[in-house]
Amino acid sequence: MLRTILLGCIAWLLAFSAWANAPRNFPENSQRATFKSFDGSRMVLGSRTFPVSPALQVRNQQNLIVVSGVLQDAGKLDVQVQFDSQGAVWRVWVLTPEERQQH
């Protein structure tokens, strides 16, 4: 009985670690950018300023959804960005060091 529980726990941990280390797949219509600043309604990416969607979704390097306020004092970051149909920033992924090296 104890052996079965222990083997089950080990199998679960191995499966979870493989999932946690899996590379993220970004939507094809997203693009890489350099995040510079965010004031709640506008986001500066590279040298351009974009409006922000009311449905803005920000994911950190662990792929967890975080509140957009974490970007206000973040400084310069490499990100993957997706825009909505109006051209506003809709989704932002903060890239990991490995993802930054891919391009």
Domain that holds residue 47: 31-103
Is 48 inside any structural domain?
yes
Looking at residue 74, its pLDDT comes to: 87
Domain count of the fold of the chain: 1
Q: Is 92 part of a structural domain of the chain? A: yes
Contact 39, 51 (CB under 8 A): no
The answer to the question of residue 13 being in a domain is no
Residue 61 in domain: yes
- pTM reported for the whole predicted model: 0.78
43 located within any domain = yes
| pLDDT band with cut points at 50, 70 and 90 for residue 92 | very high
Give the per-residue pLDDT at 56. 97
Q: Within a domain: residue 56?
A: yes
Q: Is residue 77 part of a domain?
A: yes
- Condensed to tens digits (0 to 9), the pLDDT of residues 20-78 reads 567 899 999 999 999 999 998 999 999 999 999 999 999 999 999 999 988 988 899 99
22 occurs within a structural domain: no
Whether the pLDDT of residue 18 is over 50: the answer is no
